[in-house]
Amino acid sequence: MEKRWAQVGHGEQETVRKLAHELNIDPCLVNILVQRGITSFEEARHFFRPSLSQLHDPFLMKDMEQAVDRIASAIANQEKILVYGDYDVDGTTAVALTYSFFSHFTSNIAYYIPDRHKEGYGISTQGIDFANVHGYTLIIALDCGIRSIEKVAYAKEFGIDFIICDHHLPGEKIPDAVAVLDPKRADCDYPFKELSGCGIGFKLAQAYCTLNDLPDADYEQYLDLAMVSIAADIVPIIDENRILAYYGLLKLNENPCCGLKALMQTAGKTEAYTITDVVFLLAPRINAAGRMGDAKDAVKMLLSDEVLLADEQSAFINAQNMERKSFDQNITLEALAIIEESEELIKRKTTVVYHQSWNKGVIGIVASRLTEKYYRPTIVLTESNGMYTGSARSVIGYDLYEALSSCSEFLEQFGGHKYAAGLTIRPENLEPFSAKFEQIVSTTISENLLVPEIHIDCELELTQIDSKFYRILMQMAPFGPLHMAPVFISKDVKMVGFPQIVGTNHLKLSIKQQNSAIFDTIGFGLGTYESLLTPNTTFSICYTIEENVWRDQKRLQLNIKGIKIDKDSHIN
């Protein structure tokens, strides 16, 4: 699919000039900093040298003091505490962090993860019944609960208190819990709104240490878990998340917890992890436990402090991940066939597909794959307990949650984010919902949002790229949402030698500009350009810069995201 190239405007030039002089770095890099809100030497210093001392005071979060006091009371009175979390990466890391931290202060603690297939998302009646039968009087809910008004009320009937640690959007009412920690509450003045669910658990541990005059190391030991949740849940890597991600990656690469170390070995990469590596190597394996079996298996691995047990759990969830891959590949092919066989579905600005036999645990992945293929808001549904349940994904710039809200009369329940959501619908409401969803999206989405965009940060001459440029660029990491790896554009580029196709459809080129060195490049999925490029062709490329390691030799490489051939170029 052809993509739009959108180049960001320049930062205020006097600010760029001044900061480039003060930092003694390439103005192109300074322009990127200014575009991202870093306009002074002091701000740049904090950005390039993040410090844990820059983390916000956890007690700025509404209800934090009540949460810490209630936990302290439960520990003092030897009450039984149940740590309850969602079955995805954010939820399982949050449970592992919170359970591990508080188990240092009480042995009357356990954890509970709902069954994705039997209980569904969020606080379940079964979970509360489990707590009641086993005598738990306090539930700490992580990465869920902000809309569980009825469930919290149900728990109260048994004398069970709730502390909710969530990061999803609240509804009009807040559950009547002892404490509701959610920066997205309208009445919460916490300065950063985009923590992960595990991040909320981290702040709870930080607050407990602060109030009880405990060493920072008691909660900082969980930075690797917090970082994994940030990477996997695709929250913005800015402000507090960037600090947590920065130090979490340091810990992962230097001294990971036993469970993550075992998982890194299973994934075949044991060092130099980036956020991208976490997203593609670790997160799918952790997620596979909840998708294909029991998410408690992931928590067991993350909590293990014995190498043998960690290795066993890692191998087990890796096998589940292999099974998950087979499931989602087959279901994706089936979904593509349903769409391609229907002229009406092809023409739509939305995708809504359903099959009763699809595995509930992988339909979110399938929704993401279909969104990449057709680039439009997408919903994939399957049958579960007599209802249709599914996952929704959006395109950049379009608020999926608002669209679902406009169709809420056809939904039994829904929840999520701007770009991802879950929903449940009665079978008889599928067709009217699908029609209403198509109508809402068609009238509210602009045409340009239905074409994927390459966000270009800066124009660059290839002569500007050297080891110093790359070293400073890498100091801007970790990259992620709202702070993506910079994309550059270079014009009047020519090929050296001949193009080569590698893998399925990937383009390998050597290129240069008039006075530049020769650069190796790779363009994933760009093999169709092979026949259009000759040594006489001039073209523009947009790309990221990376380091390619081959046989212990490191060399800068350009990862091409798009190619535009000059109109007046001679093509044989």
Q: What is the pLDDT of residues 438-451, one digit of tens each?
A: 999 999 999 999 99
Tens digits of residue pLDDT in 503-538: 989 999 999 998 899 999 999 999 999 988 988 889
Q: Is 566 exposed, middle or buried (0-12, 13-18, 19+ CB in 10 A)?
A: middle
Task: Tell me which of 203 and 550 has the higher pLDDT.
Answer: 203
Element (H, E) at 95: helix 89-102
pTM: 0.91
- The residue extents of the domains of the chain are 58-318, 342-450, 455-565
> Rounded to an integer, what is the distance from CA 199 to the centroid of its chain?
13
**Amino acid in the structure at residue 478:** P
**Amino acid in the structure at residue 568:** D
Helix, strand, coil percentages, rounded to 5, for the chain: 45, 20, 35
**Contact by Cβ (8 Å): 359, 382:** yes
> Rounded to an integer, what is the distance from CA 105 to the centroid of its chain?
32
* Phi and psi torsions of 388, nearest 5°: -100, 125
> Rounded to an integer, what is the distance from CA 309 to the centroid of its chain?
28
- H-only helix segments in 375-514: 400-405, 430-444, 467-474
Alpha-carbon gap, residue 110 to 294, rounded angstroms: 16
Residues in the chain: 572
538: closest CA among 567, 509, 503? Answer: 567
Alpha-carbon gap, residue 343 to 356, rounded angstroms: 22
Element (H, E) at 400: helix 400-405
Alpha-carbon gap, residue 525 to 61, rounded angstroms: 45
Q: Supply the pLDDT for residue 571.
A: 38
Q: Supply the pLDDT for residue 305.
A: 93
Q: Is the pLDDT of residue 570 over 70?
A: no
Alpha-carbon gap, residue 266 to 320, rounded angstroms: 13
Residue with tokens 């910079």: 486
Alpha-carbon gap, residue 76 to 72, rounded angstroms: 6
**Contact by Cβ (8 Å): 381, 363:** yes
Class of domain 455-565: mainly beta
Q: Supply the pLDDT for residue 393.
A: 96
CATH number of the domain at 58-318, out of 3.90.1640.30, 3.90.400.10, 3.40.50.300, 3.40.50.150? 3.90.1640.30
Helix/strand/coil for 242: helix
Whether the bond into 256 is cis, omega within 30 of 0: no
Residue with tokens 């969830």: 317
Alpha-carbon gap, residue 83 to 102, rounded angstroms: 10
> Rounded to an integer, what is the distance from CA 401 to the centroid of its chain?
17
Q: Supply the pLDDT for residue 10.
A: 79
Strand pairing partners for 424?
Answer: 389, 413
Q: Supply the pLDDT for residue 241.
A: 98
Tens digits of residue pLDDT in 318-341: 999 999 999 999 999 999 999 999
Alpha-carbon gap, residue 260 to 428, rounded angstroms: 45
Tens digits of residue pLDDT in 457-509: 999 999 999 999 999 999 999 999 999 999 999 999 999 999 999 998 999 99
Q: What mean pLDDT do residues 75-100 have?
A: 97
Tens digits of residue pLDDT in 174-228: 999 999 999 999 999 999 999 999 999 999 999 999 999 999 999 999 999 999 9
Q: Is the pLDDT of residue 273 over 80?
A: yes
**DSSP letter (8 states) at residue 279:** I
Q: Supply the pLDDT for residue 385.
A: 85
Q: Which two tokens stand for residue 151?
A: 């469930």
**Amino acid in the structure at residue 88:** D
For every residue of 334-347, DSSP letters joined together read HHHHHHHT-HHHHH
Residue 7's pLDDT band, with cuts at 50, 70 and 90, is confident
Q: What mean pLDDT do residues 371-380 have?
A: 96
Residue 377's pLDDT band, with cuts at 50, 70 and 90, is very high
Fold of 342-450: Diaminopimelate Epimerase; Chain A, domain 1 (3.10.310)
